[in-house]
Structure formats: structure tokens, C-alpha cells
């Protein structure tokens, strides 16, 4: 059998890095068009990396019985300044699996369901601040909601001085990398120079330190004042023990709170902003989902989360512009043949969610928002995978979808909004994420539910 050659991008490394930051989708689409479904690039962390997106290749690589891939935390060093040395994301092997087992339970089953009504209440409270007829930015609204969910549901911090201080600190901190230019300080390690309190990286580090101090103080207080029947995720993480009776240290809890913050705040907020855009941009989608919600005739969060068309809207939102373009990088631990292409052991692999989600053979007219795709067909985990795959698949994906559905349902059932965008909204880089440019302008037309 003839071994086919995987091509390498001929563009200089620095140009690849700049293009992937400023125009990531154009960069990916052009690369796939010019070099095929497998290609080597150097835009990620100065490593020559194989970009993979074909479902057959993904299935071969991620098949647990083959064990072609390792998912080393050391490949995620780029996230350390954001998440900390003890984050689940940067851990390796057994320690990564141990932390994952400790963190996962609160995001599944009964523990997760306890938070449903609280999420709906937080959503209503946030929208009460809007004025009838006034234009607002959908992403700002959804960020306010998901930030409050993080602080109250995940951190267990209710209204008060620490709540307000953390909310302001975290919002300011995350806004530092909100534009493609500012995002480069996270994506290009050689720009991470602390040149004083007024330098970009200096400001980032000092804000991070203040957030660390507030979180450590909260963790210390929580350990000293154990309260039974607390269901917030921080309390559950403090109490969690592995099979040997070992719990997480304070710094492990803190760094993984930051991990949950970054994984579950702007990501979900961005997806909600996109969903509100698509729902209101296509009247037939709005009418169909509103009919489904009103026909349910119950406010039970569990029943809402099971609605098929609402679920399909969330899935199509995460398909058309996945919030994260890639999974975490992997490395091959032995050679593998991918549809006639030979990949050697020790190759860094970067699976690309976006390119998979834009395949014509899977999603005809992939640029169109069509929730019915997910009603008419069941996609495999190698064809639709917005939360990644393998041993580093997002452990909060069930909670994320649950939260997204409840926030959208609460808004649609209780408030009539109007899309105020005159032109189609396009995506733009926001830190590590892909967000709607400008955040989606909308207005509140009527309060229909309360």
C-alpha cells in the first residue's frame, strides 16, 4: 500500500501564529482547502503539530482499545498563567485521573439537578435590570448570568462584599484578553513579560494574585466553618476524598476553581449569546422553540432540559461556531496509519472541532443554522464533539448544557426580545474562545412572564 505524505504549511511560523490569532477560521479553512484533511502547522505553542478533523481519523486515534494517544498535561503549559500550576488541565497521568474523579461528581446526577431552580432565578434577576426598549449586548447579559452562577452555584458565595469584589476582579481580569490583539499575550508565551504594574502582563498577574487571595480566604473560611447540607460545588470539592481518604489541598481547590471559572463562565455565556442571535435571526426557529416551551406547561427544570427542539438549538449553536476550536493537544505514543497517511510516534496532534463541524458530508450547507439536523440524525462522538473527547473531555459538559437550556428557556418564556443587528454577526477571537463580534445587540420588547 502506498503511504501518502502529510503536507506541512509553507507559511512562516510567525505568520501562522498571527493569522491563527486574528482570523482563526479563515486560517483553518484555507489550510484545510490547500493542504487537505491532515496537515502540519506551527502556530500552536511553537510546536510542529498535526491538525486532525476527519471523523475516521478521530475514531482511530481516540479508540481506547488502541491507545495511540497520550494526553500529557505538559502539552497544556500555555494555560498555566490563567489556571495555575495545580489545575486539572496541566496535570499528567494518574494525578490527572485522581483529580478528575474528585471534581466530576458535583457536575452529574442529583447534585447537578439541585441547582436548576437557582439558575432560573439568577437569570430572571439579571434581566430585571434591563429597561423596556433599551438596546443591550446579549453577551454582556449572558456573562452577568453565568458569572453569578459561577459565584453562587460553583463557589457558593452569595451577595456581599466578597461576591462583589470577586465579580469585579474576575470581570476585569478576563476582559484584559477580550480582543484578538490582547489575546496574543495568552497565546504567545514570549509576550508574557512582567514589566511592572502598568504593563499588560503585569496587570494580568496582579489581578490574578488578588483573585487568588480572595479564593484562598474563602476556602480557609469554608474549612473552618463546616456547614452541613451545603450543595455548592466548592463545598463538595473540599469534602471530596479519593479511595485512600485523601482530599485536595487548598491550592489544588483554588486552581481548579479557576479552571471551572474559565471553563464554565465565558464559554457558556458565549454559546448563549450565539443561541439568542440565531433564535431571533430566524423567526421560524423562535416560533418553534417558544411553542415547545409553552406546550410543556411546567417550570420543572428537568422537564425543560429534556425538550428535543431546545436541545437541538443548543447542539446546532455549538456546531456552527464551536466556542473552542480545538481539543487539548495529544501526542502519539506509537505510530499509526490514518487512511493511508503514516503518523510517527511522538507526533503532537491537535484535533480540530471546528473543521469537523463544518464538513459538508456530515452537515449539508454547514454555514446555515438548522437545528433540525439534530432531530433527524444522531451524530457520533467523532462527528459532533463540542466538548472534546478522550480522557480530557470536558467533565462539566452535562452541567453546561443543563445551564444553557435553563437560561435560554427562562429568557424565552418570560421576555420578548428583538434582534437589533442590521448585518449578519460574524465570529471573532475572544481570548481562547470564538465569540460573536460586538456581542449581539438586542432590545427588551416586553415582559411576558412575570
pLDDT confidence of residue 56: 95
Average pLDDT over residues 337-343: 92
- Domain membership of residue 2 (yes or no) is no
Average pLDDT over residues 97-105: 85
- pLDDT tens for 112-124 read 777 899 999 999 9
- Cell digits of residue 296: 410543556
- Domain membership of residue 43 (yes or no) is yes
Q: Which of 350, 338, 440 is nearest to 388 (CA)?
A: 350
Alpha carbon distance, N-terminus to C-terminus of the chain? 68
* 167: containing domain: 7-447
Q: Which of 267, 281, 284, 278 is nearest to 313 (CA)?
A: 278
CATH of residue 185's domain is 1.10.630.10
- Domain membership of residue 1 (yes or no) is no
User: Across-strand partners of 132?
Assistant: 444
Give the total number of structural domains in the chain.
Answer: 1
Average pLDDT over residues 420-448: 91
Residue with cell 446546532: 316
pLDDT confidence of residue 450: 52
What is the β-pairing status of strands 341-343 and 336-338?
antiparallel
3-state secondary structure of 261: helix
- Cell digits of residue 236: 463538595
Please tell me which of 2-6, 68-72, 178-182, 370-374 the model is most confident about, judged by mean pLDDT.
370-374
Average pLDDT over residues 408-416: 95
Q: What angle do CA 241, 245, 249 make, to 5 degrees?
A: 55
* Banded model confidence at residue 1, pLDDT cuts 50, 70, 90: low
Neighbours of 110 (CB within 10 A): 8
* CA distance linking residue 64 with residue 68, whole number of Å: 8
Q: Which of 313, 288, 441 is nearest to 371 (CA)?
A: 313
Average pLDDT over residues 274-279: 98
Range of weakest confidence among 36-40, 173-177, 267-271? 173-177
pLDDT confidence of residue 307: 97
- pLDDT tens for 166-203 read 999 999 888 877 766 666 666 667 677 877 778 888 88
Radius of gyration of the chain (CA): 22
The helix-helix angle for 138-149 and 397-414 (nearest 10°) equals: 130
pLDDT confidence of residue 193: 81
pLDDT confidence of residue 353: 96
CA dihedral angle for residue 54, residue 55, residue 60, residue 62, rounded to 10 degrees:
110
User: 236 — phi, psi (to 5°)?
Assistant: -70, -35
Name the residue with higher pLDDT: 255 or 111. Answer: 255
Global pTM value: 0.92
pLDDT confidence of residue 205: 87
- Domain membership of residue 289 (yes or no) is yes
Amino acid at each position: 500500500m502506498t503511504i501518502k505524505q502529510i503536507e506541512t504549511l509553507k507559511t512562516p511560523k510567525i505568520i501562522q501564529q498571527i493569522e491563527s490569532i486574528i482570523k482563526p477560521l479563515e486560517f483553518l479553512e484555507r489550510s484545510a482547502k490547500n493542504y487537505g484533511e491532515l496537515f502540519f502547522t506551527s502556530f500552536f505553542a511553537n510546536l510542529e503539530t498535526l491538525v486532525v478533523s476527519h471523523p475516521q481519523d478521530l475514531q482511530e486515534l481516540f479508540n481506547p482499545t488502541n491507545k495511540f494517544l497520550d494526553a500529557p498535561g505538559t502539552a497544556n503549559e500555555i494555560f498555566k498563567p490563567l489556571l495555575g500550576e495545580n489545575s486539572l488541565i496541566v496535570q499528567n497521568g494518574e494525578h490527572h485521573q485522581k483529580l478528575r474523579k474528585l471534581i466530576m461528581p458535583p457536575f452529574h446526577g442529583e447534585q447537578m439537578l439541585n441547582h436548576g431552580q437557582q439558575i432560573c432565578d439568577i437569570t430572571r434577576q439579571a434581566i430585571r435590570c434591563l429597561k423596556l426598549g433599551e438596546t443591550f449586548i446579549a453577551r454582556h447579559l449572558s456573562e452577568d448570568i453565568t458569572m453569578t452562577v459561577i459565584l453562587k452555584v460553583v463557589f457558593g458565595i452569595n451577595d456581599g462584599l466578597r461576591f462583589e469584589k470577586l465579580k469585579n476582579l474576575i470581570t476585569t481580569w478576563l476582559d484584559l484578553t477580550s480582543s484578538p490583539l490582547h489575546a496574543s499575550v495568552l497565546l504567545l508565551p514570549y509576550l508574557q513579560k512582567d514589566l511592572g504594574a502598568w504593563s499588560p502582563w503585569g496587570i494580568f498577574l496582579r489581578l490574578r494574585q488578588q483573585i487568588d487571595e480572595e479564593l484562598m480566604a474563602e476556602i480557609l473560611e469554608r474549612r473552618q466553618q463546616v456547614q452541613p447540607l451545603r450543595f455548592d460545588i466548592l463545598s463538595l470539592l473540599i469534602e471530596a476524598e479519593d479511595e485512600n481518604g485523601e482530599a485536595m489541598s487548598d491550592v489544588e481547590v483554588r486552581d481548579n476553581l479557576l479552571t471551572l471559572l474559565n471553563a464554565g463562565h465565558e464559554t457558556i455565556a458565549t454559546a448563549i449569546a450565539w443561541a439568542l442571535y440565531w433564535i431571533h435571526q430566524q423567526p421560524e426557529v423562535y416560533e418553534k422553540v417558544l411553542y415547545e416551551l409553552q406546550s410543556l406547561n411546567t417550570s420543572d427544570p428537568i422537564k425543560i432540559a429534556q425538550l428535543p427542539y431546545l436541545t437541538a438549538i443548543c447542539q446546532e449553536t455549538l456546531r456552527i461556531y464551536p466556542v473552542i476550536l480545538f481539543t487539548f493537544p495529544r501526542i502519539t505514543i506509537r505510530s499509526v496509519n490514518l487512511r493511508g497517511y503514516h503518523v510517527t510516534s511522538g507526533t503532537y496532534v491537535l484535533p480540530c472541532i471546528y473543521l469537523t463541524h463544518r464538513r459538508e458530508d456530515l452537515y449539508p450547507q454547514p454555514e446555515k443554522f438548522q437545528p433540525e439536523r439534530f432531530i433527524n440524525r444522531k451524530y457520533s462522538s467523532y462527528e459532533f464533539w463540542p466538548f472534546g473527547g478522550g480522557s480530557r473531555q470536558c467533565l462539566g459538559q452535562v452541567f453546561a448544557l443543563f445551564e444553557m437550556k435553563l437560561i435560554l428557556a427562562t429568557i424565552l418564556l418570560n421576555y420578548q426580545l428583538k434582534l437589533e443587528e442590521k448585518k449578519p454577526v460574524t465570529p471573532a477571537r475572544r481570548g481562547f474562545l470564538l465569540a460573536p463580534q460586538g456581542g449581539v445587540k438586542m432590545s427588551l420588547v416586553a415582559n411576558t412572564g412575570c
